[in-house]
Structures are given as C-alpha cells and as structure tokens.
Structure 1
C-alpha cells in the first residue's frame, strides 16, 4: 500500500505500481470470474478483466437484450456466456452485478451455489448493508467483498481503452479463505482501477446513495433546472439558458476543474466571475446543507433502501420509469441540449 495525503489527512491506498497487473494475474490465475448480470457495471468489468487476461464468463438471462449485447461483445454461448445458474456453478468468484431488485429475486439461486471457498463480489454495498430488507446473508465459508468503481461501467471501459484508470473503493466483509484481501485487490486492479481506497460496505452504500441523489445526479439536475427556469422566465432564449447553465460547465469548466482543481479555476477566471463565485458559494452551501443532512439520515436509516425496493418490485415499474424519463427527455431544457450538442464541431 502507498500512503497519500488528502488535504493533510493520511490515507492508505493501493496503486498499480505496488500491486501490479502481473501480480493480479498471478493471484487470479486459477479463478473463474463469473459476471452475473450484463447491465450497468457488467460489460465494462467483464471486458476489462478479459482484456487483462483473466478467465471470465458471463451469466445472463437468455434471449434478453443484455444476452445479445454480451454476444456482440464477443462472449460465446456455451463457452463464455451462460444462463445465470450455469454460470453460478462454474464460477469461483461470483460477481453479483444484477440490479438491487434483481439481486433480491435471484439470491436463493446464488446462495445455493456459493460452495465453500468461493467468493461473492459486489460493486455496491446495498444488498449486504440492508440485508434485513434484501434477505442477502452469505454463507460463512465464502469470501465476501466489493470493488466499487467511482463511475459508470461505460466510463470504466472508456478510460481503460484510453490507458487510464477509474478510481475505485474496495471493502472486505468476510474473509473465510484467508485470501480475501488479495483476491479483492487483484480484482480491483484487473478491472482497470486507477487506484483503490479502502472502505466498508456501509460507508460505500451510504456515500453512493447520497452521491447519486446529490451532486452526481439529483442535486445537479435540480440546480440545472432551477437556473434554466429563472433565465427563461426572464426572457433568455433556450440556447442562451442552456449554454450558460450546462454547456459551458460540462464542456469548458469541469474538464479544467478535473485537471487542476476548483481552487485553480477560481484563480484563473475573470475577476468578475471570481468575485461573484467567492461571494455566492457559501450561500449555496448553507441553503443545501440541511437538505444533504436530511438525505444522509434517509439513507442511513434504510428509508431510501426500502423506497427503492418497494418501487422497483412493482409490476409496472418499467412503464412508470419510462414515463418519468420521457418527461425529462422531452423537457425544453434537454431538447435544447440535444440541439446544442448537435452543433458541436465534432458532430458536424
């Protein structure tokens, strides 16, 4: 492990320098990694593992869109692509990457095939942390751990192909074999992580659910919508409102923040922008702080978990979801965004 300092706080992380890909291959040389589910995280992790020389099979519902996608990605039915239960039998490390609702549904089948010495791998702490809701309680004679990439499976794959790494957290919940830690770190390296930082299942799911509902998706969309609406109400065109709200942020500013930090951005903008940002950011923090505190409480008490399970288990969930997504997609703001994106130079 390497010791790094984050704002003066020392933290132990694993990098690809001290835990090399060659070592990861050695640790995993006798394993069959079964990717159960080929939806959000499955493709990126499976393809990166395969490209890094790890033995990988995919378990997926036959004749589904994800089954067809796995075939398109080069997995071969009967050789490296199987129905879920067959993959569970063959795998020594079971990567349980189905949706949270599907994990509950398939858990009895999964548990049946978790024989002694196998490993159960997650990329999300939901099923274990909220096991009173999910019923997911692993046998005591298997390793249980997670690697959670800090981004989508699409980003994980894209950055891998660019010879970059997406940072990931990892956690060891149960070490039945005495090899749990080296197995999970090897997997974290082999899926293409930039570096790995240690957490536990509760902290992973708490931070993840807060992040998804907060600055990663929910809060940022809310801020976008509020600013866009104010600009439009005051006579600004859709193009101007979208560019000032979203396009400049995502295309110009955020890449620079990613490269250099927000402090650099503040130091390298106009004095007018600098003064305004310094005057207003604490006001936005103070307004949002109680909301984030309420969100964190909702997550840690299990209220969010129960809401997710209740909603996703309803028979008409997909229909209602599509209606909500359609309303978002057809809103003026995101229709304006579609037009703005089409006018980018790379699209012409």
Structure 2
C-alpha cells in the first residue's frame, strides 16, 4: 500500500503502481465475474472489466430496456449475456449492481446461488448495513466485498476511455476464503479506479447517503434554487440569474477547483470576488452545519433507509418520481439552463450545420 498524508493524518491507499492491472488479471484469471444489473453502475464496470481482459458476463432481465442496452453495447445473448439466475449460477464473483430496491427483490434468487467460496460484490453498502430492513444477510462461507466508485457509471466509463480513472473506496465485510483482499483490490483496479481507499460497509453507506442528500445533489440543487430566486425577485433576467448561479460555477469555477483546489480557484478570481467569498464563506458554513448534522443523524439512525425502501415499494413510485423530475425540469431555472446550454460556443457549429 502507498501512504498519503492529508495534513497531519496519514492514510494507506492502493494505487495502480503497487497493484498493476497485470497483477489484477492474474489474481482473477480463474474467476467468472457476473455483473447483475445493467442500470447505473453495471455498464461502466462491466465494459471496463471486459476491456481490461477479465472474464465477464452480464445478467439482466430478458426483453427489458437494459437487456437491449447490453446487446447494443456488444454483449451477446447465450455467450456473455444471460438471464439473471443463469448469470448467478455461472459466476464465481457476483457483482450485485441492481438498485437497492432491486437487490431486495432479487435476494432470494441470488442467495441460493452463493455457494461456498464465491464472492458477493457490492458498490454500495446499503443492503448489508441495513439488513434488518432489506433482509440481505450473506452466507458465512462466501467473501463479501465492496468497491464504490466515487461517481456515476457513466463517468467511470468516460474517464476510462480517456485513459484516466475514478477514485473508489473498497471494503471487506466478510473474508471466508482468505482471498477477499486480493479479490476486491483486483476488481477495484479492473473497473478503472484511479486509486482505492479503505472504508467499511457502514461508513460507505453513511457517507454516500449524506453526500447525495447533501452537497453532491440535494444541497446543491437547493442552493441553486435559492440564489436564482433571489436574483429574479430583484429584477435580474433569467440569463443573468442562471449564468451567475449555475453556468459560471459548472463551466468556469469548478474545473479550477478540480485542477488545484479551492484556494487555486480563489487565486484565479478578482480581488473583489476573493474578499466577498472569504467573508461570506463562514456564514454559509455556520448556517448549513446544523442541517448537515440533522442529515447525518437521519442517515445513521436508519431513517433515510426506511424512507427509501418504503418509497420504492410503492407501485406508483416511478410515476411520482417522473412528476418530481418534471417539476424540476420545467421550472424557470432549468428551462433557462436548457437554453443557455444550447448557446455554449461548442454547440453552435453543429446547430448552424443543422439549420
């Protein structure tokens, strides 16, 4: 393992230097990796593993849209694309990449195919951590492991094709064979991770649920809406309000943060922006901190898991979800966004050609 220093804290991580792809392929040369589910994480992980030289098959419900997507991606029915139960039977490593709701529904089928020595792989600690609600309790004679890329499957695949990687956490819940560590790290390298940092199933799901509801999605959307509303109420046009709220952040400032950190972004802005941001930073932090504490408590108590499971059990969940997303999509804020995106310079030549 490599050692990284984060201020005064030292952390051990796994990089491609000490665990190269060739070693990963060798570790899993006798394994059949069955990707169960071809929705959010499935395509990226499956295709990256396949391109990296691993023995991969996909399990998916036949005649579904995701089955058709798998075929379009080059998976061949009867060769490396199978119904879910047959994939469970064929695989020695079962990558359980269905949605949390899908994992609960399919668990009785998967469990009966988890014979001694197999490995059960997750990219989310939800099902195991909240097993009193999900019923997912793995047999004692299989390895239970986790690799959680810190981003969507789409990003994982896109970065892989660009010759880059997406950082991932890894965890071992159960080591029945004595090979759980080498299996999980080999899979982490195989799916295209930049580097791997250690966690456990509980910490992974607590951080993941907090992040999704917080700064990654929920808080971000809420802050966008609040600032846009204030600007519009004070007479600013939709173009001005959207560009100052979303477009400048996503297209100009966040790439600078990604490149060299927040201070680098500040250093590349005007002194007026620097001074105002530094003065207001602590006020926003102090205002948000109680909300984040409430959020973490709701996650760690299992309340967020209960809400999620109950919502997904409703027969009209997808209908209600689409209604909520439609409300967001059709709001003035995101209608302005759709227009602004069409006017980005890189889009204009293509549109001129069409017109």
TM-score normalised over the length of structure 1:
0.99
> What residue is the counterpart of 1:187 in the other structure?
187
What's the CA shift for 1:249?
0.3
1:30 counterpart SS class: coil
> What residue is the counterpart of 1:311 in the other structure?
311
Aligned pair 1:34/2:38, yes or no?
Answer: no
Aligned pair 1:286/2:286, yes or no?
Answer: yes
> What residue is the counterpart of 2:207 in the other structure?
207
What's the CA shift for 1:6?
1.3
Cα distance in 2, alignment partners of residues 211 and 91 from structure 1: 32
Runs of 4+ aligned structure 1 residues displaced above 6 Å come to none
Aligned pair 1:153/2:153, yes or no?
Answer: yes
Cα distance in 1, alignment partners of residues 30 and 13 from structure 2: 26
What's the CA shift for 1:240?
0.5
2:115 counterpart SS class: coil
> What residue is the counterpart of 1:246 in the other structure?
246
What's the CA shift for 1:65?
0.6
Cα distance in 2, alignment partners of residues 248 and 8 from structure 1: 34
Cα distance in 2, alignment partners of residues 140 and 323 from structure 1: 43
- Describe the superposition over 1:223-274 as per-residue Cα deviations: whole angstroms up to 9, x where unpaired: 0000000000111110100000000000000001100100111222111000
Q: Give me the CA root mean square deviation.
A: 0.5
- Describe the superposition over 1:134-165 as per-residue Cα deviations: whole angstroms up to 9, x where unpaired: 00000000000000000000000000000000
- Describe the superposition over 1:277-334 as per-residue Cα deviations: whole angstroms up to 9, x where unpaired: 0000100000000000000000000000000000011101011111111111111111
Cα distance in 2, alignment partners of residues 130 and 50 from structure 1: 31
> What residue is the counterpart of 1:301 in the other structure?
301
What's the CA shift for 1:7?
2.2
| Residues 83-102 of structure 1 mapped to structure 2, 5 A cutoff | 83-102=83-102
> What residue is the counterpart of 1:320 in the other structure?
320
> What residue is the counterpart of 2:229 in the other structure?
229
> What residue is the counterpart of 2:220 in the other structure?
220
> What residue is the counterpart of 2:129 in the other structure?
129
1:14 counterpart SS class: strand
> What residue is the counterpart of 1:335 in the other structure?
335
Cα distance in 1, alignment partners of residues 12 and 26 from structure 2: 23
Cα distance in 2, alignment partners of residues 262 and 280 from structure 1: 15
> What residue is the counterpart of 2:4 in the other structure?
4
Structure 1 regions of 5+ residues with no counterpart?
Answer: none
Cα distance in 1, alignment partners of residues 276 and 68 from structure 2: 51
Cα distance in 1, alignment partners of residues 195 and 128 from structure 2: 24
Structure 2 regions of 5+ residues with no counterpart?
Answer: 349-355
Cα distance in 2, alignment partners of residues 265 and 343 from structure 1: 25
Cα distance in 2, alignment partners of residues 227 and 8 from structure 1: 36
> What residue is the counterpart of 1:258 in the other structure?
258
1:335 counterpart SS class: helix
> What residue is the counterpart of 1:21 in the other structure?
21
- Describe the superposition over 1:203-225 as per-residue Cα deviations: whole angstroms up to 9, x where unpaired: 00000000000000000000000
TM-score normalised over the length of structure 2:
0.98
What's the CA shift for 1:8?
2.6
- Describe the superposition over 1:14-41 as per-residue Cα deviations: whole angstroms up to 9, x where unpaired: 0000100000000010110000000000
> What residue is the counterpart of 1:268 in the other structure?
268
2:167 counterpart SS class: strand
Give the number of aligned pairs. 348
Cα distance in 2, alignment partners of residues 141 and 32 from structure 1: 18
What's the CA shift for 1:100?
0.4
